[in-house]
Structure 1
Amino acid sequence: MLQRTIAEPTEVVGIGLHKGDSVRLRIEPLDADSGIIFYRSELGRSIPLSPEAVIDTRMATVIGTPEGYISTIEHFLSALYAHGIDNLRVVLEGNEMPIMDGSAVSFCLLIQEAGIRSLERPKPFLKIKRPVEVRDGDKFARLEPSDRIEFDFTIDFPHPAIGRQRLYFDFTLANYMEEIARARTFGFARDIQYLQSQNLALGASLQNAIGLDEHKVLNPEGLRYPDEFVRHKILDAMGDMMVTGHNLLGRYTAFAGSHDLNHKLTLKLLADAQNYEIVALEQIRSPHYERCFA
């Protein structure tokens, strides 16, 4: 399998979740071994993607510096992960990605509209060699060796519409499009009201998130999946793992995971070279991985 970029530049305009401003997003192809590079066009500043570039994980994954950052990149990165994109220039006018409908499906369609082009270099995978785990009380996120690309996530919210949900997801692009891509982010009305009083979540609405009051889902159309909440958590986790710049070969498991735990997990993973190795698909000798991105 070869490295991937997009075939043609393409762009879309949407609303930023926190500032509520109109945001123009343009994606452009890059050569092999370029990686994923974000670019703030109005600042003339590039931000190469890496765990070291992450500066905030409280409400979203944010990369850059306080003087020039880009927020809420996880849904977009999840779509890149699913499509196996290794090299891309992501041009933004503004400091956050457009939220679109709160899921990753719009970004998937953007990538598919641009087309995918293979490059004449082997695709590198980040293969997990030994277990790595981070914890916060009973919450944890873990990576461990596996001969598949697996995500196993459990959430437990004391809310009648959520409760305890667990999903095991065996990754392929086809499965992702069917089971994960359309799962939306969610928030509680009481929290949104407070955030908006602090000039945050100004772009949040029932058109780009699942809203909940104390008892029920507020969206008139209801849920897209009965367990949409845990499916979105897997969507987020895939995006946060893509901050490494690579597709991972291994098993990700989490209980009540978060952007913060995911970030700490990638840092701990890469801190010791014995935890992983960068391999080409030919070294894996498994037809499963070829099918994953078909």
Structure 2
Amino acid sequence: MSQSFHSQRTLSQTATCQGVGLHSGTPVTLTLRPAPAGHGIVFVRTDLPRPVSIPALAEYVVDTALATSLGKDGVRVGTVEHLMSALAGLGIDNARVELDGPEVPIMDGSAAVFAQVIQEAGVRELDAPREYLVIKKHVAVAEGDKQASLAPARRFRISCTIDFEHPVIQGQSFDVELNDRGFSREISRARTFGFLRDVEKLKKLGLARGGSLENAIVVDEVSILNPEGLRFPDEFVRHKILDAVGDVSLFGRPVIGHMTAYKTGHALNHKLVRKVLSDPSAYEIVTVRRPEVEGMELAMPGLSGGLELEPLVA
């Protein structure tokens, strides 16, 4: 994969995968198509009489209860976070995401399949500078003992801590700087997880219909039920970072800032994104003009030398 981060990127060719929705249990085919500069990530429901396009932006978030769902004109696309995490983690700025169902397929419960599909399709640089959302001041949100914040930094970094009252998911922390190599190696394979007692309740409510040990880590009161065990000793906190990458990507541009997350979920992640966007003094949209010069020197992953970043002029 290309390691240049100063130009917008899309896929080199169309890529497809098939699976079932975690909550709907509905079989769905997902098709990723290349898109031009400035297009962004846009979901398209192709199973409707007239296709409905929903941009992957925070303003279109309609539900964060069990996953992050986008909606427009009464039409929804559910559980977008793992795919969005893969697209953001691998530096894809523009893509048309076609779905013939109401929910992104869960695949193996991580972002690994999506990352593999993207890598196999290849990445193409576009003749347009990449825009970044640069955090300019500390912004924080909280709900009870849950907290999330974004602060100024030279790169996009996430520090996450979880603490469940459970023998196998007690306090876990992980800190990572996000670039395509680090995402693929450290984050993309971490699977979603749930408690057996909660899965049983959700299925009675008609949710988690597609959930199984094939696409989630399931724990009972004392142990992990998956016969193959964990992919990482701290897979739980790594998956929380995977989710956060997907949720924060709904800024619509790569972020330069340090996110700190304590016991967060989709609702609090989205609340943080909304709070940043509601305060124009909290961020600045900048665009890379000449990567070869020594300028602001925001050392983005994959770039050698400094970057000259200039405010984006509307």
The TM tier, using the shorter chain, reads over 0.9
Using a 3 Å threshold, how does the CA distance of structure 1 residues 108 and 134 change in structure 2: closer, same or farther?
same
| CA distance, structure 2, for counterparts of residue 278 and residue 266 of structure 1 | 14
CA-CA distance at 1:171 after TM superposition: 1.9
Is 1:271 matched up with 2:283? no
From 253, 259, 262, the counterpart of 2:269: 262
From 188, 191, 203, the counterpart of 1:181: 188
| CA distance, structure 2, for counterparts of residue 260 and residue 284 of structure 1 | 34
Q: Please, what TM-score do these two structures have when normalized by structure 1?
A: 0.96
Query: Comparing both structures, which one devotes a greater share of its residues to helix?
Result: 1
Task: Specify every segment of 5 or more residues in structure 2 that has no aligned partner in the other structure, as ranges.
Answer: 1-5, 305-314
Cross-structure match for 1:7: 12
**Counterparts of residues 1-294 of structure 1 (less than 5 Å):** 1-43=6-48, 44-65=51-72, 67-281=74-288, 282=291, 284-291=296-303
SS of residue in 1 equivalent to 2:302: helix
| CA distance, structure 2, for counterparts of residue 285 and residue 22 of structure 1 | 46
| CA distance, structure 2, for counterparts of residue 147 and residue 52 of structure 1 | 26
Paired residue total: 292
Kindly, what percent of the aligned residue pairs are identical? 47
CA-CA distance at 1:65 after TM superposition: 4.0
SS of residue in 2 equivalent to 1:290: coil
Q: Which amino acid aligns with 2:125?
A: S
Superposition misfits of 4+ residues, deviation over 4 angstroms: none
SS of residue in 1 equivalent to 2:301: helix
CA-CA distance at 1:50 after TM superposition: 1.1
Task: Specify every segment of 5 or more residues in structure 1 that has no aligned partner in the other structure, as ranges.
Answer: none
Conservation of the 8 A alpha-carbon contact between 1:172 and 1:291: no
SS of residue in 2 equivalent to 1:55: strand
- CA RMSD of superposed structures (Å): 1.3
| CA distance, structure 1, for counterparts of residue 301 and residue 17 of structure 2 | 31
CA-CA distance at 1:35 after TM superposition: 1.0
Q: Which amino acid aligns with 1:15?
A: V
TM-superposition CA deviations, 1:152-172 (whole Å, max 9, x none): 000000000110111111222
TM-superposition CA deviations, 1:146-194 (whole Å, max 9, x none): 0122100000000001101111112222121111110000011111111
